Structures are given as structure tokens and as C-alpha cells.
């Protein structure tokens, strides 16, 4: 029996925190390696092949995305935490090898694939441990740690690498990956069997949610990928000034997404997944569509915040809906497959450079806007994501 002073919501908070903490390390390593650590180590070795760097990054991300469903299926069979630790150990090993000249590229591949494997074991914890009526809040907290992790990672890596300290940078990355997993594992407590008699009265079909996720993220990645070129063109800035301005805008966007993630998750449980995804698609699409009309950094900042809030809303609703639609015994596999939509959006966004070169930013950003709005509408029309889910008992997790 609980003591008179105990807080009955405390176990819920612990569970929500436990299933979200790991996203800090996943985001730090998955974003920090291709954006900062890998280019830095290549430059330090005297390699300046931008095309080669781009191809290595693309192939590595594709490989990691293809491996993730298989690792997820493995976690369905043997439990989540063995896969998390195998992936984390692989990633830490890869990080260490990146300090050895001549091994930088293959080591980066090992590290990013390892993170993808760890993610495959970690991401099913939301549907495993959190009841449907609270998954929106879990998805919102995931957004905070995901975006916040990347933000912290960029700051830490930038500081260490800027001082020429690659070894401390790698050590900190490894700690930021492993420590949140360890804390989460302790918060969860004693393990039990995966999917123990879970009664999930949900439709396992994920195709519509994957398609909506792909369309929305395609719009987001197109704008983000070419933001620096757009800022330079629109404001008439040189490379250095454009980079500084774009960095400020992207930091503002990340901060806006992180701040909006928690209320967005709460709304996903109150208003339902579909409404939030529709609202997010419309808000982000409006920001993208109006971007070519901006003629000042302040206006770009306002529109960037609109995109950030829309992204937080769509992401919270979509991730909660994906968790709702998984089926017991296949959660790891299904969420791994769902993330192929993210990888596809990342890959296709680069092709919009052709659109920009031939027809300009207005056409490219207009198509990005249409894609984001279409993602929101498709999610809203999907009857399987209607409303906040009913309160079903969570599955348990193998240690």
C-alpha cells in the first residue's frame, strides 16, 4: 500500500523518463558523427573530398536504416536490453577506432550502425511499457531528449574539436551514449517477458503512418538541407555570414522544437493523434511555403519557429500513433521498418538541389510545403489513428 505522502503518478513519470532517456545518446552520436566528428577527422588527415564525404554519409545512413528492422526483430525474440547493449558497445568501439588514422571511415560506419542497432532495442520500450493513453506524453518527452541531445552534442563536439581535442570529444560522446541507457535500465527495474499477455486492440497496419511520416519529413529536410544556400541568396550574404546566420536559425528551430515537444505530447493524448498531425502538417507547411517571401533574418526566424512548432506537433502525434499501431511480438521489427520512411526522406531531400538549380527556391520550398501538408492530411484521413488510445495494460520488457 502506498504511503500517505507518496505520489501515485511517480511510477508513470519514471516509466516515461526511462523510455525517453536513451534518445539523448542516440541523437548525440547519430547526428554528431556525420556532421562534425567524421569531417573533422578527415580534415585532420588531410582529406578534403566533399563528394566522398557525402557518399560515405549517405551509404552509412542507408546501411544503418536497413539493419535496424532486423535488429528490431532480434529484440522481439531475445529482449530489448541485450540489443541495446550490443549496439552501444559496437558504437563505442567504432568511436574509439575513429581516432586511428586510416580507419576513420570504416570506424564511422561501425559506430553509426551500432547506434542504429541500439535504437532498434530502445525504441520499442514506449509501446512495451507505456499505456496508449500516455504515449503522446512519451512521444513528446522523446522529442525533447532527441532534439536536445543533438543540440548538446553539437555544442560539446564543437567546443572540443575546435580546440583540437578529438580524444576527449570521443570519450564524452561514448559517455553520453552509455550513461542514459544505464540510468534508463535502472529506472525500469526488474525485467520480465516481452509482451506478457498484452491486449492491444489496435490495427497493426503501418503503411499510412509511414507514408505520412515520409511526406512530412521530406518537406522538413528539404528546407533544412538547403537553408544555408537560401539565406545567402535571399539576404545577399557571403559564405561566412550565411553560415553564422543559418547556424542561429537552426539552433532556434531546434530550441523551438524541444520546447514545444512536451505540450505537443500532452495534446496528442488529449486531442488525439490525427488532429495533432494535421495541425503540425499545416503549421510547418505554412512556414515552408512563406519562407521564400521572407526578406530579413527576423522574418526567417518567425517562420522557422512556425516550422519548429509544427514539427514538434506532427512528430509527437506520429510517434505515439506508430506505437499504438504496433502488434505484440513484432514491435521492434515494425518500428524499425517505420524508420525507413525517415531514411527515405533524408535521401530524397538531396535531390531537390536539382529543383533549386533549375526553378529556384520558391518552387522547391513550395513543393516542400505541399509535401508536409500532404503528410498531415494523409495522417488525419487514416481512421486507424483516431483519437487518444484507450488505457490498455503495457507489455513488459525482457532484460
Residue length, the chain?
399
Nearest of 146, 69, 15, 28 to residue 326 by alpha carbon? 69
Q: What does the mean pLDDT of the chain come to? A: 83
Which sequence spans correspond to the domains of the chain? 18-188, 207-385
Q: What is the pLDDT of residues 22-47, one digit of tens each?
A: 999 998 888 888 877 887 787 777 77
Residue 291 has pLDDT above 50, yes or no: yes
Do 18-188 and 207-385 agree at the fold level? yes
Residue-level pLDDT at 48:
64
* Domain spanning 18-188: CATH 3.30.390.10: no
Cα distance between residue 122 and residue 138, in whole Å: 13
Residue 218 has pLDDT above 60, yes or no: yes
Least confident of 44-48, 266-270, 277-281: 44-48
Cα distance between residue 183 and residue 177, in whole Å: 11
Q: Which CATH class is domain 207-385?
A: mainly alpha
Instruction: For 10, list phi and psi in degrees, rounded to 5.
Output: -60, -45
Residue 244 has pLDDT above 80, yes or no: no
Q: What is the pLDDT of residues 6-27, one digit of tens each?
A: 444 557 788 888 899 999 999 8
Cα distance between residue 235 and residue 241, in whole Å: 10
Q: Which residue has the higher pLDDT, 363 or 163?
A: 363
Least confident of 43-52, 162-171, 265-274, 317-326: 43-52
Cα distance between residue 32 and residue 156, in whole Å: 10
Residue 383 has pLDDT above 60, yes or no: no
**For residue 268, what are the CA distances in angstroms to 20, 129, 189, 298?**
16, 18, 27, 30
Region 262-287 average pLDDT? 92
Residue-level pLDDT at 394:
38
Q: Report residue 216's pLDDT band, with 50, 70 and 90 as the boundaries.
A: very high
Q: Which of 2-16, 198-212, 232-246 has the highest mean pLDDT?
A: 232-246
**Burial classification of residue 7, based on how many CB atoms lie within 10 Å of its CB (0-12 exposed, 13-18 middle, 19 or more buried):** exposed
Amino acid at each position: 500500500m502506498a504511503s500517505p505522502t507518496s505520489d501515485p503518478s511517480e511510477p508513470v513519470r519514471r516509466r516515461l523518463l526511462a523510455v525517453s532517456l536513451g534518445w539523448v545518446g542516440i541523437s548525440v552520436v547519430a547526428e554528431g558523427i556525420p556532421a562534425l566528428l567524421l569531417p573533422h577527422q578527415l580534415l585532420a588527415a588531410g582529406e578534403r573530398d566533399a563528394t566522398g564525404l557525402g557518399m560515405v554519409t549517405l551509404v552509412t545512413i542507408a546501411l544503418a536504416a536497413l539493419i535496424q528492422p532486423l535488429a528490431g526483430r532480434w529484440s522481439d525474440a531475445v529482449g530489448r536490453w541485450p540489443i541495446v547493449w550490443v549496439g552501444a558497445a559496437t558504437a563505442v568501439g567504432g568511436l574509439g577506432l575513429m581516432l586511428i588514422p586510416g580507419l576513420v571511415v570504416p570506424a564511422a560506419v561501425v559506430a553509426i550502425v551500432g547506434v542504429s542497432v541500439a535504437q532498434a532495442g530502445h525504441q520499442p520500450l514506449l509501446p512495451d511499457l507505456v499505456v496508449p493513453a500516455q504515449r503522446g506524453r512519451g512521444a513528446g518527452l522523446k522529442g525533447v531528449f532527441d532534439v536536445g541531445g543533438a543540440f548538446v552534442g553539437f555544442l560539446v563536439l564543437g567546443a572540443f574539436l575546435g580546440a583540437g581535442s578529438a580524444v576527449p570529444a570521443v570519450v564524452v560522446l561514448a559517455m553520453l551514449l552509455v550513461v542514459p541507457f544505464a540510468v534508463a535500465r535502472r529506472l525500469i527495474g526488474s525485467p520480465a517477458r516481452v509482451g506478457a499477455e498484452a491486449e492491444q486492440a489496435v490495427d497493426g497496419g503501418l503503411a499510412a503512418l509511414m507514408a505520412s511520416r515520409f511526406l512530412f519529413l521530406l518537406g522538413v529536410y528539404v528546407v533544412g538541407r538547403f537553408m544555408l544556400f537560401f539565406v545567402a541568396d535571399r539576404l545577399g550574404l557571403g559564405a561566412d555570414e550565411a553560415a553564422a546566420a543559418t547556424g542561429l536559425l537552426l539552433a532556434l528551430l531546434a530550441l523551438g522544437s524541444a520546447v514545444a515537444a512536451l505540450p505537443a505530447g500532452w495534446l496528442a493524448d488529449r486531442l488525439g493523434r490525427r488532429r495533432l498531425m494535421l495541425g503540425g502538417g499545416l503549421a510547418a507547411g505554412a512556414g515552408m511555403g512563406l519562407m521564400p517571401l521572407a526578406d530579413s533574418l527576423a522574418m526567417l526566424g518567425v517562420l522557422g519557429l512556425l516550422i519548429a512548432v509544427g514539427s514538434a506537433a506532427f512528430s509527437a502525434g506520429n510517434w505515439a500513433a506508430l506505437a499504438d499501431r504496433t502488434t505484440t511480438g513484432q514491435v521492434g521489427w515494425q518500428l524499425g521498418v517505420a524508420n525507413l520512411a525517415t531514411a527515405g526522406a533524408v535521401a530524397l531531400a538531396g535531390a531537390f538541389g536539382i529543383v533549386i538549380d533549375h526553378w529556384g527556391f520558391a518552387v522547391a520550398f513550395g513543393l516542400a510545403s505541399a509535401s508536409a501538408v500532404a503528410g498531415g492530411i494523409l495522417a488525419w484521413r487514416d481512421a486507424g489513428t483516431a483519437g487518444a488510445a484507450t488505457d490498455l495494460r503495457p507489455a513488459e520488457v525482457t532484460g
